[in-house]
């Protein structure tokens, strides 16, 4: 167990997940907990908890992912305590309210009023407008818990999204004209649905997990997607079709069996020179459903906290930049990785 320093840090402990001390409430914990706030269906380990606080969209996406993962087998699903955006409620002595995080369908940040302090647990955020995702909201608070993540740890500033989308379309069209199968590697939730919306006028094949969550988007009328046009991948791809595949499964035998394929990574990791797997890439596009470094700083300024608690990995430069703004910065995470202030 790791307790954070300072008066605001004393509110929390890190014990294989972030916990609000003296309460039952955990935040996006990777290990099973009795009650855990889950900011989005993209959170690892969200299905392990007994009860989760989340939006209805997140609960529906988690159910779709569980069914896709189980392939007909029964898998554990938590009891979802579903709450819409902007409706305050109580949990013991805590006053809570979910509000839009701008990341994926149903993603939420959590406002906690506790012991006279306003605490915001942001979760993954994105300030870029992408209908039908609810636009990111920033709430003024005393303590902001912020996921620095890959962008915060590596000071990643992404190029304008519009230009990257045009490059992706050109990549796909060039592959098709050459008689090859375009394969786009992305996150299952977030980037994949944006790719489907971008390429929706072209025949697409989706990995079963991507198909499952994209069907939820379509069922809710998201992004103009129509469920009837979403085709799951079944061992092969027909000529003229584009395949959207999880980046985490880029070395899958099913993918390696495809002949005449042209593969590109769509991710904030696209600028990295080191290979992320054995499969050779023919293209890489720096695009993300999460905020980049400048977006994180802009969000912190809007929230005006006196203290920021960083999660999701050690972010030395982000810590320095926030400290320069007069903000107290604390780090929450495994002791072997993160120094405590």
**Predicted local confidence at residue 220, as pLDDT:** 84
The DSSP secondary-structure symbol of 29 reads: -
Q: Please report, for the domain that includes residue 221, its CATH number.
A: 3.40.50.10890
Give the dihedral sign, CA 62/68/74/75. negative
What's the pLDDT band for 116 if we cut at 50, 70, 90? very high
Task: Please check whether residues 135 and 165 belong to one and the same domain.
Answer: no
Residue 21 lies in a domain: yes
Q: Which residues of 258-270 are buried (b: 16+ CB within 10 A; e: fewer)?
A: beebbbbbbbbbb
pLDDT for 51 beyond 80: yes
**Domain total in the chain:** 2
Summarised one tens digit per residue, pLDDT across range 147-180 is 988 888 889 999 999 999 999 999 999 999 999 9
What's the pLDDT band for 73 if we cut at 50, 70, 90? low
pTM: 0.91
Residue 339 lies in a domain: no
Task: Please check whether residues 124 and 232 belong to one and the same domain.
Answer: no
- DSSP per-residue string spanning 88-137: -EEETTEEEEEEE-SSSTT-EEEEEEETTEEEEE--S---S--TTSPPP-
Alpha helix (H) residue ranges in the chain:
6-9, 56-70, 149-154, 161-177, 191-198, 208-219, 253-256, 293-303, 316-324
Residue 95 lies in a domain: yes
Summarised one tens digit per residue, pLDDT across range 209-258 is 999 999 999 988 776 677 767 899 998 899 999 999 999 999 999 998 99
Task: Please check whether residues 142 and 174 belong to one and the same domain.
Answer: no
Residues 50-74: what's their mean pLDDT? 88
Residue 41 lies in a domain: yes
Residues 114-125: what's their mean pLDDT? 96
Task: Please check whether residues 14 and 130 belong to one and the same domain.
Answer: yes
Q: Higher pLDDT residue, 225 or 127?
A: 127
Q: Which residues of 223-232 are buried (b: 16+ CB within 10 A; e: fewer)?
A: bebeeeebee
- For the ranges 98-112, 186-200, 201-215, 309-323, which has the lowest average pLDDT? 309-323
């Amino acid at each position: 167990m790791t307790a954070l320093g300072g008066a605001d840090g004393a509110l929390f402990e890190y014990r294989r997940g972030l916990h609000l001390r003296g309460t039952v409430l955990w935040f996006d914990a990777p290990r099973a907990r009795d009650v855990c706030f889950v900011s989005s269906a993209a959170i690892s380990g969200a299905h392990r908890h007994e009860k989760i606080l989340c939006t209805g969209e997140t609960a529906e996406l988690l159910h779709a992912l569980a069914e896709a993962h189980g392939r007909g087998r029964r898998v554990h699903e938590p009891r979802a305590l579903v709450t819409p955006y902007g409706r305050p409620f109580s949990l013991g002595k805590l006053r809570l309210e979910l509000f839009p995080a701008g990341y994926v369908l149903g993603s939420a940040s959590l406002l906690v009023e506790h012991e006279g302090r306003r605490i915001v647990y942001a979760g993954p955020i994105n300030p870029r407008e992408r209908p039908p995702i609810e636009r990111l909201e920033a709430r003024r608070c005393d303590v902001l818990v912020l996921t620095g993540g890959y962008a915060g740890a590596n000071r990643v500033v992404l190029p304008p999204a519009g230009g990257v989308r045009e490059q992706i379309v050109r990549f796909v069209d060039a592959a098709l004209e050459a008689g090859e199968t375009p394969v786009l590697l992305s996150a299952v939730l977030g980037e994949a649905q944006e790719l489907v919306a971008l390429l929706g006028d072209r025949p697409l094949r989706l990995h079963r997990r991507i198909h499952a969550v994209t069907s939820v988007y379509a069922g809710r009328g998201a992004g103009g997607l129509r469920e009837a046009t979403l085709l799951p991948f079944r061992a092969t791809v027909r000529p003229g079709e584009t395949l959207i595949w999880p980046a985490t499964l880029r070395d899958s035998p099913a993918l390696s069996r495809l002949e005449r394929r042209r593969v590109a990574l769509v991710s904030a990791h696209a600028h990295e020179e080191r290979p992320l797997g054995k499969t050779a890439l023919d293209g890489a596009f720096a695009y993300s459903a999460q905020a980049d470094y400048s977006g994180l700083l802009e969000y912190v300024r809007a929230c005006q906290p006196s203290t920021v608690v960083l999660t999701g990995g050690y972010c030395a430069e982000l810590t320095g930049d926030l400290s320069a703004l007069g903000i107290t910065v604390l780090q929450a995470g495994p002791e072997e990785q993160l120094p405590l202030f």
